[in-house]
Structure 1
């Protein structure tokens, strides 16, 4: 039989189960997001606005490589959830072994490529003008630690797939605390500037890596790191790739969006607009942490119960997740609408940024109350192993709507066109996702066991 922690995914009340899964995920994402916010505050206050712009350029580039590990982790975790749901422990173990080999090998390869073509990569992602100097310093250090981050991103979804959300939460909290401490030490005390910020981030990646893979060697994990499972199996690799391709495509689209955004912002507003978006992007991650937590908590519940044929529980998990997520999104929306000036003032004392960013922040968050439908809807198809619908719905916001809008609207409305593109894309993608999710539920989740 499946072990107790994973078996509870198929038996415990959905509401209670979602909270038990989502709360640790939310706390973990909160701390990780808070780490990014504090990191940006430290960099902005102790180094300067151009340092924020430099990190804004580099992070999407490095995360594009690390997202290979995320894709392999999320794709494999979907398979593992369903394997545990159908009591196939052997398959779950072999999938995990293949994940580790794939993540390490691919991330090392792309890091080497990224270092060889450093100048071209930085130029592509928008390191223009005064942004280039700090961006190059940060990039040159951070790239060496990306394989550790990739392996962390592979391991964390697997921990959640086992039904161990508290350990997944700790894996996010420990590196965040380490990064904040090292930021203070390297930037403020030792005065290492951008290099200090980069080394602090590298150390945080290594802390996360050590904890996650300690977990898989410990008695707490149902899955173990076994050399015999490192042999790649074509069928498993194919299945991981198909499902993980959704996550990789999403992150790839985010990176393409970052390229277009950084160049568009620089064209219509210069370095200041890139810094403004650096602040807004941190808030997008930080403020939405409760909804992201609900989404992360939903995935193993939906995947396990779908694998076990308990379709009524899958339907219930969808409804409750959207309800909880929407309530949290409304609270976030209210805070952003009422206190944008206070939020921006934490990051910098630059007068231009303080004057222009609050309005932009309001526009970007305008459709926040609807995002739960978007997140749960696209996540559902990935959780149950339907790669094509998951891929298409994942790409709707950035690929089908936001990128075209950012290319078109600034030509008529200037920098305002960039900010207003976000709520329009959110609204359109939510409508589309809601339509397909509703159709899927009516067609394929009729039978309950």
Structure 2
């Protein structure tokens, strides 16, 4: 029987993951992912620039207060997306397409339910949540205006991230790239239109965001509806299976921890900075956070390109290809992060001046940014390492490495250092590079052990 077009695509993508040179496959998958992640991070920066120049410093502060709530929504969404993509990749490698489809369908259904729940609860308890996350009387109004609209997009945003990750899991990074880049470009255009000509302020920035997310969802929907995916989803696949959902959550939990850690860090810092430096310090942190997000995005794109290779070949027991993909990803991640770190260290004042012309904000922010980013290139090692263990389904190492930088190291350091020798707010900024360095050391220890096990021909799936 002659294979149909979808079977042919499946065979071609499987052959690519299994047989092509690892560096070539990694480039094919990671370049689109890196571009889409970079553009996605760029529109967050542009969003902040438009708000900073159209609304002012307090507008940036409002975005900073809203940020941890958005990270909490993203945490749940990525847990489902990355978890289902990792599990589905391994099932494809093991030639079990039915179980792969159940992973994908379950993730979409769970994403819809989680989005509804988070959106409704967020609207009901919005003001106390904002106060909890450090909103001052000055910043509460702008943060509330922004999040009231953003929470509407929460109803469908989880499905966008599930769809993007699923596309990458089948080796189709271009569709995920077009989804994110198209949404990002639309966001930037609508940002300008709503904030400046229409004068909608921070509400305009929020509206631009949810409309662009809606575009990404529609783009992904037509991809699956037109059966371009190798996952041939049927109604039965969308029935949530508890066992499958548990597997998705277990594998994706590291991504949840990574994003919820961002939310937890923001919670701690917003409340500490409120006491040490007030609204200006919170705005400084908001800008630094956007810059750090952009700095780490290329490495996260590399990880998204690496994971289908690692997951597929791990399932097929081709361990040499697994190790090769890991090594190449670490080297490339260090190179990308090193270049961006150098630019930040050389031009911190110029970077801050993009967001606002406030002299106090620029002076305080430039000095803080330089200290925060001095060791940030080593975070690439931690990001790749956590993504590697996630791809091979090892929950505990992935969880530990994901939590190490922000939860195990950064938060304790940020709480302790300001109390030592009168460091105050500078102790908070110093916690960033120390956490980057310490987490990289822990990651190297875990990776050395795992690679030794894989070199022996064992699957390394020990706890």
Q: Same fold (TM over 0.5)?
A: yes
Q: Check whether the contact 1:66–1:107 (CA below 8 A) recurs between aligned residues.
A: no
Q: 2:419 aligns with which of 392, 411, 423?
A: 411
Distance (Å, rounded) in 1 between the aligned partners of 2:298 and 2:260: 24
Following TM superposition, the consecutive aligned residue runs of length 4 or more in structure 1 with deviations greater than 6 angstroms are none
Q: 1:372 aligns with which of 360, 380, 404?
A: 380
Deviations 1:225-284 (A, max 9, x none): 421111122221111121122222222222111100111111101000111111111111
2:439 maps to 1:429: yes
Would the alpha carbon gap of residues 356 and 198 (structure 1) be closer, same or farther in structure 2, given more than 3 Å must change? Answer: same
Q: CA deviation at 1:425?
A: 0.4
Distance (Å, rounded) in 1 between the aligned partners of 2:387 and 2:234: 30
Q: Check whether the contact 2:29–2:173 (CA below 8 A) recurs between aligned residues.
A: yes
Which residue in 1 is equivalent to 2:39? 31
Distance (Å, rounded) in 2 between the aligned partners of 1:439 and 1:302: 17
Which residue in 2 is equivalent to 1:194? 202
Q: Check whether the contact 1:3–1:222 (CA below 8 A) recurs between aligned residues.
A: no
Which residue in 1 is equivalent to 2:3? none
**Residues 15-414 of structure 1: pairs in structure 2 closer than 5 A:** 15-412=23-420, 413-414=423-424
Distance (Å, rounded) in 2 between the aligned partners of 1:16 and 1:6: 14
Distance (Å, rounded) in 2 between the aligned partners of 1:103 and 1:143: 15
Distance (Å, rounded) in 1 between the aligned partners of 2:406 and 2:340: 21
Q: CA deviation at 1:294?
A: 1.4
Distance (Å, rounded) in 2 between the aligned partners of 1:66 and 1:353: 29
Secondary structure of the 1:147 match is coil
Q: Check whether the contact 2:17–2:312 (CA below 8 A) recurs between aligned residues.
A: yes
Paired positions, count: 449
Q: Check whether the contact 2:53–2:356 (CA below 8 A) recurs between aligned residues.
A: yes
Deviations 1:76-111 (A, max 9, x none): 101011011111111111111111111111221122
Q: Check whether the contact 1:56–1:274 (CA below 8 A) recurs between aligned residues.
A: yes
Distance (Å, rounded) in 2 between the aligned partners of 1:212 and 1:30: 19
Distance (Å, rounded) in 2 between the aligned partners of 1:247 and 1:289: 14
Q: CA deviation at 1:121?
A: 0.6
Deviations 1:96-153 (A, max 9, x none): 1111111111221122112111111111111113111100111111111112211111
Would the alpha carbon gap of residues 239 and 291 (structure 1) be closer, same or farther in structure 2, given more than 3 Å must change? Answer: same
Distance (Å, rounded) in 2 between the aligned partners of 1:269 and 1:393: 31
Q: CA deviation at 1:448?
A: 9.2
Distance (Å, rounded) in 1 between the aligned partners of 2:238 and 2:207: 31
Which residue in 1 is equivalent to 2:430? 420
Distance (Å, rounded) in 2 between the aligned partners of 1:154 and 1:128: 35
Q: Check whether the contact 2:299–2:384 (CA below 8 A) recurs between aligned residues.
A: no
RMSD: 1.5
Give the TM-score taking structure 2 as reference length.
0.94
Q: CA deviation at 1:223?
A: 1.5
Q: Check whether the contact 1:7–1:85 (CA below 8 A) recurs between aligned residues.
A: no
Q: CA deviation at 1:67?
A: 2.4
Distance (Å, rounded) in 1 between the aligned partners of 2:121 and 2:348: 40
> 241-250 or 402-411: which moved more?
241-250
Distance (Å, rounded) in 2 between the aligned partners of 1:415 and 1:51: 22
> Which runs of 5 or more structure 2 residues have no equivalent in the other structure?
1-6
Distance (Å, rounded) in 2 between the aligned partners of 1:219 and 1:102: 21
Distance (Å, rounded) in 2 between the aligned partners of 1:344 and 1:199: 25
Would the alpha carbon gap of residues 407 and 448 (structure 1) be closer, same or farther in structure 2, given more than 3 Å must change? Answer: closer
2:456 maps to 1:446: yes
